Structure 1
Amino acid sequence: MRLVFISLLLFIGTAVYSQKLPSPKEHFGFNIGDNYHLATYTQTEAYFKKIASASDRVKLVDIGKTEEGRTQYMVIVSSPANLKQLEKYKSISQRLARAENLTNAQARDLAKEGKAIVWVDGGLHATETVGAHQLIETIWQFISRNDEETQRILNDAIILFVHANPDGQELVSNWYMRHADTLKRTLNNLPRLYQKYIGHDNNRDFFMNNMSETKNMSRQQYIEWMPQILYNHHQAGPAGSVVAGPPYRDPFNFAFDPLLVTGIDGVGAAMINRLNVEDKPGYTQRAGSVFSTWWNGGLRTTAYFHNIIGLLTEIIGNPTPARVPLVTARLIPNAATPFPVTPQQWLFRQSIDYSVSLNYAVLDYAVRNREPLLYNIYKMGKNSIDKGNRDHWSLSPNKVEAIKEAFQKDQRPSAQNNSQNFVDTIPLKYYDAVFKDPAKRDPRGFIIPANQPDLSSAVKFVNALILSGIKVEKATANFSVAGKEYPAGSYVVKTNQAFRPHVIDMFEPQDHPNDFLYPGGPPVRPYDAAGWTPAFTMGFRFDRIMNGFDGPFESIAYGAEQMTPGKFSNSANGYVLNAAGNASFIAVNDLLQAGVEVMRITDATASGTAQGSFFVKATAKSKSILEKAAKDYGAQVIAVSKQPAGVAKKIKSLRIGLWDVYGGSMASGWMRWIFEQHHFPYTVIYAKDIDAGKLIDQYDVIVFVSDAIPALGGGGRGGFGGRGPRADEVPAEYQKTLGRITPDTSIAQLKLFAEAGGNIVTIGNSANLAYHFKLPVKNALVEMNNGVERNLPGEKYYIPGSVLRVKVDSTQQTAWGMNGEADVFVSSSPVFKLSPDAIAKGIVTPIAWYASPKPLRSGWAWGQEYLQDGVAAFAAKVGKGNLYVFGPEIAFRSQTHGTFKFLFNQLTAVK
């Protein structure tokens, strides 16, 4: 009887408990995946809080604020016993991932004791609505199900469910649900970017850590938890498939440990097998999609450089029912798509079910292979530490080409023609000449000196490393390495650490292989950039150290961001701000907005600062502003006893217009971010504002990022999204943002603006404005074909996103504060020929040009010899005003700090 009573109590307790756990339908009013229904983030956040209070399998963690001020949550799901020991399992994960001071035996013991840590996110790209909704549904499945598989996963894994873009879900879901009539609901024509500044580029920020959401997630990934597997959900699958996933196509980045590549293959096999077992067709892999593992910068790709198995799937699906289209090429089974899907109607719920199955597949793999996963992340880290402690030569296409070239050079002329297709026929001495050459070794570390003009950019780079979990040291006293003296405060980054691939990737050039569809055929476009190397594009000084070294260094705590050590000392007379430092422009903007007079020194200064540096008289107000600029922003303020010799002219705060378009331009959003970070006041303007005319009464300078100005004769409309939505499809508050730049109206008004004394800055392909203005410039990348001029074809010239070196005329105001050379980011960027006669007359003036037949610094530049003597940037007189044209992406994703001054100088006018 007593046993019956106890059983009854347990049954009642269980029943009461289950009633407290709300299902998605009970909370949202619909099942996740129901047609024509989306949940907002407000509703989702409330649901997370409900289940956290009702379930002993859930811990809700606030990981930080978004750019719009919402709370970003991580929902940790595991067994109740594991949740009580999270710190223990986090510590084990950290120790294994960092691989510091562990023996193999100790690592195996920790692997036995630890739990598999698996990251599953959703919602990063908010219009890809499956992502956020599968997250909700998967969490519900894991907290409500009691089957054997679920229990096994909960016992042996800790799942980090992360909402990647709360702001975006709120915007997109409200936009979709705004119509009561379900048949009118659409995701089309979203009025603004679904991340405050950068929209889709929120998945391009993970090695720079600019955005709040990126920082929040990077801290959890690389400082707190170090998951062994990271699963990043996206849309949409290639037409004629349901989902694209791992393994991915070549090339993969040569910095990776081979265990990472085979680890991706192993998890990918588990994912596709799960769908096949469940009779869910349409998974495609490898050559079945465009996704590779070369590029760093995405949520899942940055993980690779930290020895984490990063997974990306791209799935179809929409709350409005759609169809799987007929693509005949995908109907025949092959290694990429062994189980094709046939054309059919496709419902939102099907995509949710596929996603839940894939999540279960990943987690089942993780717990079945728990100990190997935990040990392998240690092993990859240990391999990295070992490589950093000895001489090591990374394999790369350039080194292989050097072997081939040396061998071919030594052949007799008759044999040279036959030496192109050798495989194993080269004597070993040619290998030794490259892979035993001390000059071609990987560096043992890098030193970033504290005594450099743009220290603030250097520290931003250091913080990007620190937020990615990189071990950074700082000199506590002066020291010397390899015969060079360095001051205290210099930063040291050694390569003998677990995340060595990330260190190498951030400092060293990428060497993308030549990748063509077939020999002599068109190039295969990289998934994103082919080369990026922030240590180049950020424009600071650093040294590669080839041998092991040490010094008076202290380790910076993991994740501890650094403040730039600003410089300020009181002066009774005045202060100089070096034009070479980006932080100087922050201080200048603060001074101007406070009404303080600022002078610009138009020639080189006696104080040793760059031409174009700033002079400010000493007053109580200037002292207060400059002290704060030094403390908060790292400005280097030099106290002087008198105004430096040379011509000095007063500057003024300019009225800046920044072009944007309905729906939002990501490049314009990045520019907003840059302006705000450097305290430039600006107004966002649209085509209607330009077409209304009288621009000179409102603006001094207008900035056009890429994709603003249409090509000459190219259809007459610039900007994203073609013609854009109809006016009747847009709420009243967004009506002013409609329209595109047109030759007949917009271009005419811009020319009137320039002729009246206004300045215009164009970046990237918005250089088209120079052709509309009929300036004496031509496209340098053309050839004659049967008497007709045409653009060079991709078989001859192709430069996707890569870093190239240009010569700079830094004596011009346009380039004050810059060195005689600069690394620029090029992405199919325009290159120009200027009329020599127009140069002589001062109508056009080169600012930067490609002085070498081999300007490539990082990435891939096929046919780069065509660039020699081509102009990358120029200024042109247009009436009383000026047009400044920059072909490279001088503000690219707020990564190219080294070329920001090309822009800032045009926003800091001399009266």
Structure 2
Amino acid sequence: MSRRVFAALFAGLALSTAGPAAAQTLARAPVASPTLLAGASHDPSVPTTQQVLGWATGEQISRPAELRRYFEALAAHAPDRVRLFDYGQTHEGRPLWGAVVASPANLARLEAIKAGSRALSDPRATSAAEAERLIADLPAIVWLAHSVHGDEISPADAAAATAHHLLASRDPAVQAWLQRTIVVIVPSQNPDGRDRFINSFRAGLGVETNPDPLSAERAQPWPGGRFNHDLFDLNRDWFIQSQPETRSHAALVLDWRPHVLVDAHEMGTDESFFFPPEAEPLNPLLPASTLAMRERIGRNTAQRFDEIGQPYFVRQVFDAFYPGYGDGWPAYLGAVSMTYEQGSARGLVARRSDGSLLTYREGVRNTFVALLSTIETAAANREQLLRDRWAFARDGVEGGRGAYILGPNPADPTAVEKLAGLLVRSGIEVGRADRPFNACGRQWPAGSYVVSRSQPLRRMVEVLLTRDIPVPADFMARQAARRDRGLSDELYDVTAWSLPLMFNVPAEACGAAPQVATTAVGPELVRPAAVANPEARYGWLIHPGAAGQKLTIALLRQGVAARAMLAPFTHESGAWPAASRRS
């Protein structure tokens, strides 16, 4: 190579990398049209992401803080139509937040609408006449939750597009939606994971995007962006509520009682788009009205996708059996809850196995269209949604007989307390017996818990406490036939979750409610362990179990030394199992 050619190449390299401005420039997704929705007419006074963040929606993967900045701009522009709220904090200190988009009249009476939704969910406190008044008056609450897995990226930016369209669209039909609905938007359910993904993505991004599946920009270092800070899959946590993200979100949903709820995800790059109806098996405790409305919303979304030429599939892969998903748990509160799944670019552009390209902007567009279809269908079916909620609650109260009894396990007496607290966190009414009583042909000690089957959330009671939710026999037969042919099963995920079994708590489903006074319990999980003989001269023995673990951790944090006993032993106070602690 001549010295002159080498010098020219070196000069070109220097020009391509020099200067802080060049170093900060990010590649962008290809843009086929200036708007995500062809033909849409928008009020130019409503802020766009281009004006606030510096890029059109879908050109970049927005960080949670950038999304927050954009929604704050919308709220500043239209404070009578947009309201932001915080509902918690992640392990890493990022805020968990959402936004309400509504007509001025509905936003002004937001607390009354929430109270009305809760009233319509309890026929014991609301008369039939009052229910009719609420059904005639209330808007439907549409809940849009996005990107619970941090590397499922396009739904969060679709949330921004949805908010902008609701505020800026000049289509009278869109503004009519907001007369009949209020829309709650949670853009990022897992901001810790999303930021982790974006950090690795931007670190690997070149001057131009690289669609190769093995490109550095989509090579996520362990642990990747899917999980939260504690490396937990938040989409399996809705009734266990072990993580702050899920705990805070579940409490928020309980407070609002939305009528429609979308949990927007992504899936593999080669896939198109999924929306309900779901694949089999369907949980037998799902109400028929919920399944019917899911199908109605799905048919409308299919029509909207046909109009833009976007492929999709239904009744495949994603079943509706496990109640711990973001679309599972809310269904047993009476919500029409659904999972949406968009094929993921896992970056700004990806090459599929057939050679075609999938852009990030395309993924954002598809989720955006599905969300608009959901709002459109909810608005058109506002009254039916409210009537179905009233019927769901009445069926809970009138359709259940007897009660579940939960007793203490002598090996871990406080495990039943933790279980009772989790049930309350799922909206279930639980009472603690004030004295011993007889039920199901046996005696139960004072402090046992009674969970009536005659309450508005009866289906939540049954789905969490029933020992075995049966998978339909014809589906099981089909799986056995597949196994015989060497094929994998068609179950998506978890098939067993009985909480009494999980907590090793004695439990019985009694045909008649016990005749015993009970005290309503709250969401506290474990009471502090009681200390016997506080004047002990040598030390204390701590029984294993939930309360013992809580006390041991508190002691260790205070610098108190403790030792675990590796084998059972006896002491003057009696027999002690292995794993007892001495301090």
Q: TM-score, normalised by structure 1?
A: 0.54
Looking at structure 1, the residues matched to 46 and 413 of structure 2 have their Cα atoms a distance apart, in angstroms, of 53
- 1:823-866 residue CA offsets vs partner (Å, 9 max, x unmatched): xxxxxxxxxxxxxxxxxxxxxxxxxxxxxxxxxxxxxxxxxxxx
The equivalent position to 2:492 in structure 1, one of 527, 534, 543, is: 527
Partner of 1:303: 330
Matched position secondary structure for 1:230: strand
State the match for 1:183 in structure 2: 209
Q: In the aligned structure 2, how far is the partner of 1:92 from the partner of 1:377?
A: 12
Distance 1:84 1:312 in 2: 30
In 2, are the aligned partners of 1:82 and 1:158 still within 8 Å (CA)?
A: yes
Measured after TM superposition, the shift of residue 477 of structure 1 is 4.7
Residue pairs, 1:34-53, within 5 angstroms: 34=59, 37-53=60-76
Structure-2 residue corresponding to 1:252? 282
Higher relative contact order (CA 8 A, sep 6+): 2
Paired with 2:506 and 2:154, the residues of 1 have a C-alpha distance of 44
Describe the SS at the equivalent of 2:333: coil
- Superposition deviation, residue 199 in structure 1: 4.2
Q: 1:602 aligns with which of 546, 556, 568?
A: 568
| Equivalent runs, 1:397-476 vs 2, <5 Å | 444-449=402-407, 452-476=410-434
Match of 1:24 in 2: 49
How far residue 523 of structure 1 moved from its aligned partner, in angstroms, is: 5.5
Please say if 1:284 is aligned against 2:313. Answer: yes
Residue among 70, 85, 90 paired with 2:94: 70
Are 2:407 and 2:505, in contact at CA under 8 Å, matched by a contact in 1? no
TM-score (norm 2): 0.82
Matched residue SS, 1:283: coil
Give the whole-Å Cα distance in 2 for the aligned partners of 1:546 and 1:608: 38
Using the alignment, how far apart are the partners of 2:160 and 2:515 within structure 1? 50
Between the aligned partners of 1:608 and 1:119, the Cα distance in structure 2 is 55
Aligned to 1:512: 471
The match for 2:399 among 376, 387, 399 is 387
Q: Distance in 2 between matches of 1:146 and 1:302?
A: 36
Within the candidate set 202, 221, 246, 1:214 is matched to 246
1:584 match = 548
251, 261, 266: which one pairs with 1:230? 261
In structure 1, C-alpha distance between the alignment counterparts of 2:286 and 2:373, rounded to whole Å: 24
CA contact (8 A) 1:516 1:523 kept: no
Instruction: Summarize the alignment of residues 3-402 of structure 1 with structure 2, pairs less than 5 Å apart.
Output: 21-34=46-59, 37-55=60-78, 56-162=80-186, 163-178=188-203, 179=205, 181-183=207-209, 186-194=217-225, 195-199=227-231, 201-221=233-253, 223-236=254-267, 239=270, 241-276=271-306, 278-286=307-315, 289-318=316-345, 319-323=347-351, 326=354, 344-389=356-401
Kindly report the root-mean-square deviation, in angstroms, between the aligned alpha carbons of the 2 structures.
2.7
Deviations 1:344-391 (A, max 9, x none): 4332222222222111111111111101101102212211222213xx
**From 477, 500, 505, the counterpart of 1:540:** 505
**Cα distance per residue 1:272-313 (max 9 Å; x no partner):** 12222x232301111xx3101011211111122222211111
> For 1:61, what is the secondary structure of its paired residue?
strand
Look up the match of 1:571. 535
Deviation at 1:127, TM superposition (A): 1.1
**Counterparts of 2:44 and 2:172, CA distance in 1:** 22
1:64–1:73 contact (8 Å) kept in structure 2? yes
Q: Distance in 1 between matches of 2:477 and 2:571?
A: 49
Structure 1 counterpart SS, 2:217: coil
The 1:271–1:561 alpha-carbon spacing in structure 2 relative to 1, beyond 3 Å, is farther
Alignment of 1:843-862 (within 5 A): none
Partner SS, residue 160 of structure 1? strand
Partner Cα separation in structure 2 for residue 609 and residue 546 of structure 1: 37
Residue correspondences, number: 520
Matches within 5 A, 1:653-732: none
Q: Secondary structure at the match of 1:377?
A: helix
Q: CA contact under 8 A between 1:237 and 1:244: conserved in structure 2?
A: no
Cα gap change, 1:116 to 1:451, in 2 (>3 Å): same
Q: Distance in 2 between matches of 1:281 and 1:449?
A: 53
Contact 2:283–2:322 (8 Å) recurs in 1: yes
Question: 2:579, 2:364 → 1: CA distance?
Answer: 58
Contact 2:328 2:337 in 1 (8 A): yes
Counterpart of 2:535 in 1: which secondary structure? coil
SS of the residue 2:120 aligns to: helix
CA shift in 2, pair 1:597/1:536, >3 Å = closer
Q: What's the CA shift for 1:587?
A: 3.7
Shift of 1:562: 4.5
Residue 516 of structure 1: SS of its match in structure 2? Answer: helix
* TM-superposed deviation, 1:536: 0.2
Which amino acid in the other structure matches residue 461 of structure 1? Answer: L
Query: 1:605 offset after TM fit, Å?
Result: 5.0
Q: Per-residue displacement from partner, 1:698-741 (whole Å, max 9, x unpaired)?
A: xxxxxxxxxxxxxxxxxxxxxxxxxxxxxxxxxxxxxxxxxxxx
Identity across matched positions, percent: 23
Find the residue that maps to 1:64 and give its secondary structure. Answer: strand
Q: 1:101 to 1:595 in 2, by over 3 A?
A: closer
Q: Is the CA contact (8 Å cut-off) linking 2:61 and 2:154 kept in structure 1?
A: no
State the shift of 1:76 in Å. Answer: 0.8
- Partner residue, 1:493: 451
1:120 Cα offset (Å): 0.5
68 and 592 in structure 1: CA distance in 2 versus 1, 3 angstrom threshold = closer
Q: 1:474 to 1:52 in 2, by over 3 A?
A: farther
What amino acid does structure 2 have at the position aligned with 1:536? L
Question: Quick one: distance in 2 between partners of 1:27 and 1:355?
Answer: 22
Against the structure 1 CA distance between its residues 451 and 301, is the aligned structure 2 distance closer, same or farther, given a 3 Å change threshold? Answer: closer
Distance in 1 between the 2:433 and 2:294 partners? 39
Change (3 A) 1:592 1:309: closer
Is this contact kept in 2: 1:592–1:598, CA < 8 A? no
CA contact (8 A) 1:42 1:170 kept: no
Post-superposition Cα deviations, 1:232-289, rounded to whole Å, max 9, x if no partner, equal: 11112683x521111011110112222222222122112112222x232301111xx3
Query: Deviations for 1:524-572, whole angstroms, at most 9, x for unmatched residues?
Result: 2311111121210222233332212342223346xx4354252223233
The question of whether the paired residues in 1 share the 8 Å contact of 2:399 and 2:454 is answered with yes
Query: Retained in 1: the 8 A contact 2:526–2:547?
Result: no
* Secondary structure, counterpart of 1:207 in structure 2: coil
